[in-house]
Structure 1
Amino acid sequence: MYHNLWESCGVVTHSNSTSYHCSLTMAEVAKTMTTKPLSVVAKLCYAFGGVGNEIIFIVFGAYTSIFLVDVAQLPPLFATSIIFGSRVVDVLCNVFMGPLIDRTNTRWGKIKPWIVTSALVMTVTNALIWYVPDVGTGGKLAWYIILYIVMKLAWSGFVISYRTFVMFLSDDSSERDSAIQYRAIFTIGGTVVGMVMHGQILASFRRSEHDSCDNMTYSGNNSTNSSVDGVSLEMTRIGYMVSSAAVCGLLLLSLSAIVFGTTERKDISATSGGKRGQNMFKTAKSVLTFRPNVYFLLAYFFIQVPISIGHGAIALYAQYSLDLEDQIENILLAFMVASVLAMPVIGWVVSKLGRKTSYICFMLAAIPMYIGFQFVPKGSLAVFAVAIGIGITVLAQAFVPWLMITDITEDCCLQTGERLDTPFVAIFLSCNSLAITVGLIMATIVLEIGGYKLGSCVQPDTVGSALRILASTFTSVLTFIGVVFAWRYPITDARQKEIAKATNKRKSNSLQPDETQRNGSAPI
């Protein structure tokens, strides 16, 4: 009964005692406590609102490397600089954009203006980012650097505001949890739809009958005969543009669902905001030096980098290591479908083994899958089995860490008396962006090391060999290092239960003096 009231009240801790204050009047409290439940329609609209963004993210990650080097015809090192520049912006945005959003206050609300503006910018940028301008190599480099940076700025603004928006839909924690479950279902469905749609559109524009690369082998002394055919390349570029238009349409449709199907509770959002004079850098230092978070971030980083390598290089690996260009879309689809089907299995394992133990087990299981990339024969469809195995572990990496970060924030609050949820989440997202950056950059650097020939659709065998080593050896070693840090993570399953118990006890005890102070008697 008092849970929602407690969220709107403040706590002031002194050296010998703790005092409580509440900014709500009794009328506001009554209004809050009689709020109608969040409707199913509102939950569906909120969940569908993130589908367009998820499709952009999954297509962006899977096809960026192969688009820049094969379709835009940029040297691998140029592609690396584009990816690196945009991702650095993303890492910094996650730290500084959160407080900026938190301090926003307009007549249209706190969150919705950010969602609408970011989504519109993403729509325009996504329509341009898959277009290849005829401005020379230097011009294309500048074109994509600018667009990728703008895209990451808009994407960061949307993701932070969209994931925060659920807090302002309802003051009932169970209603918010239900909305998050809807969001998870739509997120997974959206990623599958995105991969299928993008892959099938590209496949429909593939004109192998006009492709001069068919039945050709690489010759170090005569690379001009293996250049990409103009008709085939133009058809591929058209395919990317058509897919871009379809994704933009879905993004605008999902944005409409949020704008017209949900209502931002201004009585809730008005109570949220950053503290005046708060030292952002001091807070970041506290978060980064908190022992459980140190091991957690290190474990997550070393495990996320291999996943990002696979995400960014699997299309290149299928094309140049296995000679399965016509199966790229199907391999990526198998990868995503495996993640969807694994959801109930991962949930069951976590409920039985606990968060830390299940996380370690799933990541250990990923290592032999990575090693399998080294031994898949050229032209063999056995790669589907490896992709499915990796897909299952990827979902565990996307699900379990969000449970662990909740334990970390609660443990920090118990030990220091400070609630630093937003800084913990912001720095976690920055770590995620940094890991993705490293993974994508490694995928493009390996092309340069392997001797990638720009404009040649038949590459030296060294390119395929380099991709095999990256996808197997590098990923296995990095994942093992991440598991070691996860093993050192101090919040065990037993400690997690202690944290939950202490947190519930603290909330229960803290309500009593507040009720006594306001009503003059002990609460019923």
Structure 2
Amino acid sequence: MNTVASATPLDQKQTYAALSFKEKLGYGLGDTASHFVWDMVGFWLLFFYTDVYKIPAAAAGTIMLIARFWDMAIDPVIGIVSDRTQTRWGKFRPYILFGAVPYAVLSILTFTTPNFGETGKIIYAGATYVLLMTAYAAVNLPYSSLAAVMSSDTYERAGLNTYRFICAFIGQFVVTGLALTLAKYFGGGDKAQGFQYTVIVFGILSLVFFFITFVTTKERVQPSTTLPSSLKEDVKNLFKNRPWIILACVGIISFIMFAIQNAAIAYYFKYYIGQEDSVQWFNVIGTVALIVALPLSKPLAKRFGNRNVFIASSIFSGLFFIALYLPGANNIVAIYVLNILAKMAYAPAVPLLWTMIADSSDYSEWKSGRRATGLYFSAATFAQKAGWGIGAAIAGWLLTVFHYVPNATQSASALLGIKLLVSVIPGALYMSCALFMIFYTIDAKTTDQMKLDLDARRESAR
């Protein structure tokens, strides 16, 4: 079974103790900081480009696609470099410390609106967004990889990632619930100024939270063998790793879904519901539903297994999203209830995806003796960001296809397109993830055996 070392008895003493509350919370705050930018981009940037900066929808969608593909291209580079980084702070923590300032500055510039004319605006928007995605990758990718080296236990990782995403969705709660209110307050009728000042606040908070993450976390898991570094072998093992390939496909599809729905929701409330400001409450309530259901992830995973929980989550959540197509514009209660049910069904799968990515990295080390945590997480985020870029571009393109006109009364065709972008299209995409997860093969018995074997190798290598 294991090509590097013989199996270790299942009753072997565990190497790593449970993570403390302080460390899990400190780690989680890093994703609060990340979501200040991720959700400003995901929920508001397309709307900001078309309705505030006055960039054509098709051009805005293309900018988002190009930026995401650049983001994808830089991810593996950062993953490969971070795997080979050796400092007194570890492999991944230095990127969080030193990347925070450019991350904050570029987020502000992205939501700044110099008057360069239509062509100049498109160039400026594209340049600042590409640079922002570079800074985001340089911080967030090492941040994501950090969880895999804080503990070698899959259930500790599930608990850690639960804290991460509770904090992440608190960040989302703030952005989706308060961004427009803050923009209105700071802008005093000037939407452009309002968005810029709002992002300044989020940028300062991000700096504080990233510093807390840096000082409260510790890297513990070291490679189990001392094989020489080889990028060729690491990449070869990556594409031989069936569990990781399945997770990459799921990441692409699910992030297409997230991007389409997040980009379209502002249009849905402004033009279909006719209550533009209510989108904040819709997002806030959905985020609260996510936060409430997230703690179920670890106990459900222990009871039913990571894969089975993810499959059930994608099916039920997808069905509830599809059902959002049915209520009329005046049936607000049904719209809110379906969104709450969809988010609660979706929540347990969120930390499990990242837990399974860490498990797939362990699986490669278990089989080959080579550990490449940064590469595995960078390749996974590469796939996810590909999905996000494709989804955001699809949203912009479909708005054009359905004859959307900014700041005008929309045609029946445009309203149909907006409804589909919020309901049927994302719901069907998320349900399809269950088909891929059927073929995911790392079960509870395998993760237990991997941990024991890898811990034994690390002990013998000391």
TM-score normalised by length of structure 2 = 0.84
Which residue of 1 is the match for residue 204 of structure 2? 249
Which residue of 2 is the match for residue 500 of structure 1? 447
Task: Identify if the C-alpha distance between structure 1 residues 397 and 172 changes in structure 2 by more than 3 Å, giving closer, same or farther.
Answer: closer
The alpha carbon displacement at 1:78 in A equals 0.8
The alpha carbon displacement at 1:340 in A equals 0.5
**Counterpart-to-counterpart distance in 2, 1:441 and 1:138:** 19
Instruction: Spell out the pairing of 1:102-117 with structure 2 (5 A cutoff).
Output: 102-105=83-86, 111-117=92-98
**Counterpart-to-counterpart distance in 2, 1:502 and 1:108:** 30
Tell me if the contact between 1:342 and 1:392 (Cα under 8 Å) persists in the aligned partners. yes
State the Cα deviation string for residues 405-443 of structure 1 (Å, max 9, x = none): 344334444444544443332211111111111111111
**Counterpart-to-counterpart distance in 2, 1:318 and 1:273:** 55
The alpha carbon displacement at 1:61 in A equals 0.8
The alpha carbon displacement at 1:151 in A equals 0.5
Task: Identify if the C-alpha distance between structure 1 residues 476 and 195 changes in structure 2 by more than 3 Å, giving closer, same or farther.
Answer: closer
AA partner of residue 192 (structure 2): R
**Counterpart-to-counterpart distance in 1, 2:251 and 2:22:** 35
The residue matched to 1:374 in structure 2 has which SS?
Answer: coil
Tell me if the contact between 2:186 and 2:197 (Cα under 8 Å) persists in the aligned partners. no
Which residue of 2 is the match for residue 26 of structure 1? none
State the Cα deviation string for residues 127-150 of structure 1 (Å, max 9, x = none): 221122111111111111111111
1:188 counterpart = 2:140? no
The alpha carbon displacement at 1:292 in A equals 3.0
1:97 counterpart = 2:52? no
User: More deviation in 442-451 or 157-166?
Assistant: 157-166
The residue matched to 2:50 in structure 1 has which SS?
Answer: helix
Instruction: Spell out the pairing of 1:356-395 with structure 2 (5 A cutoff).
Output: 356-381=307-332, 382-395=334-347
The alpha carbon displacement at 1:87 in A equals 0.4
- Select which of 442, 462, 468 maps to 2:394: 442
Tell me if the contact between 1:102 and 1:273 (Cα under 8 Å) persists in the aligned partners. no
Tell me if the contact between 2:225 and 2:369 (Cα under 8 Å) persists in the aligned partners. no
**Counterpart-to-counterpart distance in 1, 2:421 and 2:211:** 42
The alpha carbon displacement at 1:70 in A equals 0.9
Task: Identify if the C-alpha distance between structure 1 residues 274 and 243 changes in structure 2 by more than 3 Å, giving closer, same or farther.
Answer: farther
**Counterpart-to-counterpart distance in 1, 2:56 and 2:290:** 33
Which residue of 2 is the match for residue 400 of structure 1? 352
1:124 counterpart = 2:124? no
1:83 counterpart = 2:35? no
Higher RCO (C-alpha 8 Å, min separation 6) = 2
Task: Identify if the C-alpha distance between structure 1 residues 37 and 380 changes in structure 2 by more than 3 Å, giving closer, same or farther.
Answer: closer
Tell me if the contact between 2:161 and 2:351 (Cα under 8 Å) persists in the aligned partners. no
Tell me if the contact between 1:307 and 1:394 (Cα under 8 Å) persists in the aligned partners. no
**Counterpart-to-counterpart distance in 2, 1:80 and 1:199:** 21
The alpha carbon displacement at 1:41 in A equals 5.6
**Counterpart-to-counterpart distance in 1, 2:20 and 2:303:** 33
Which residue of 2 is the match for residue 330 of structure 1? 281
Tell me if the contact between 1:338 and 1:391 (Cα under 8 Å) persists in the aligned partners. yes
**Over alpha carbons, which structure has the higher Rg?**
1
The residue matched to 1:81 in structure 2 has which SS?
Answer: helix
AA partner of residue 131 (structure 2): V
State the Cα deviation string for residues 27-83 of structure 1 (Å, max 9, x = none): xxxxxx9x9998866665444344322222122211111111111111111101210
Instruction: Spell out the pairing of 1:28-67 with structure 2 (5 A cutoff).
Output: 44-67=25-48
**Counterpart-to-counterpart distance in 1, 2:274 and 2:350:** 30
The alpha carbon displacement at 1:120 in A equals 0.7
**Counterpart-to-counterpart distance in 1, 2:56 and 2:226:** 44
The residue matched to 2:348 in structure 1 has which SS?
Answer: helix
How many positions carry a matched residue from both structures?
452
Identity, in percent, stands at: 19
- Select which of 219, 241, 247 maps to 1:296: 247
Which 5+ residue runs of structure 2 have no aligned equivalent? 7-14
Instruction: Spell out the pairing of 1:75-224 with structure 2 (5 A cutoff).
Output: 75-105=56-86, 111-165=92-146, 182-202=163-183, 204=185
Root-mean-square deviation (CA, aligned residues, Å) is: 3.7
Which residue of 1 is the match for residue 428 of structure 2? 477
Task: Identify if the C-alpha distance between structure 1 residues 435 and 377 changes in structure 2 by more than 3 Å, giving closer, same or farther.
Answer: same
The residue matched to 1:61 in structure 2 has which SS?
Answer: helix
Tell me if the contact between 2:151 and 2:221 (Cα under 8 Å) persists in the aligned partners. no
AA partner of residue 187 (structure 1): A
**Counterpart-to-counterpart distance in 2, 1:128 and 1:119:** 15
Task: Identify if the C-alpha distance between structure 1 residues 86 and 470 changes in structure 2 by more than 3 Å, giving closer, same or farther.
Answer: same
Tell me if the contact between 1:45 and 1:257 (Cα under 8 Å) persists in the aligned partners. yes
**Counterpart-to-counterpart distance in 1, 2:297 and 2:154:** 24
Tell me if the contact between 1:324 and 1:379 (Cα under 8 Å) persists in the aligned partners. no
Tell me if the contact between 1:367 and 1:476 (Cα under 8 Å) persists in the aligned partners. yes
The residue matched to 1:375 in structure 2 has which SS?
Answer: coil
The residue matched to 2:115 in structure 1 has which SS?
Answer: coil
AA partner of residue 91 (structure 1): M
Task: Identify if the C-alpha distance between structure 1 residues 302 and 40 changes in structure 2 by more than 3 Å, giving closer, same or farther.
Answer: closer
Tell me if the contact between 2:141 and 2:374 (Cα under 8 Å) persists in the aligned partners. no
Task: Identify if the C-alpha distance between structure 1 residues 400 and 113 changes in structure 2 by more than 3 Å, giving closer, same or farther.
Answer: closer
Instruction: Spell out the pairing of 1:480-491 with structure 2 (5 A cutoff).
Output: 480-487=431-438, 489-491=439-441
Instruction: Spell out the pairing of 1:223-234 with structure 2 (5 A cutoff).
Output: none
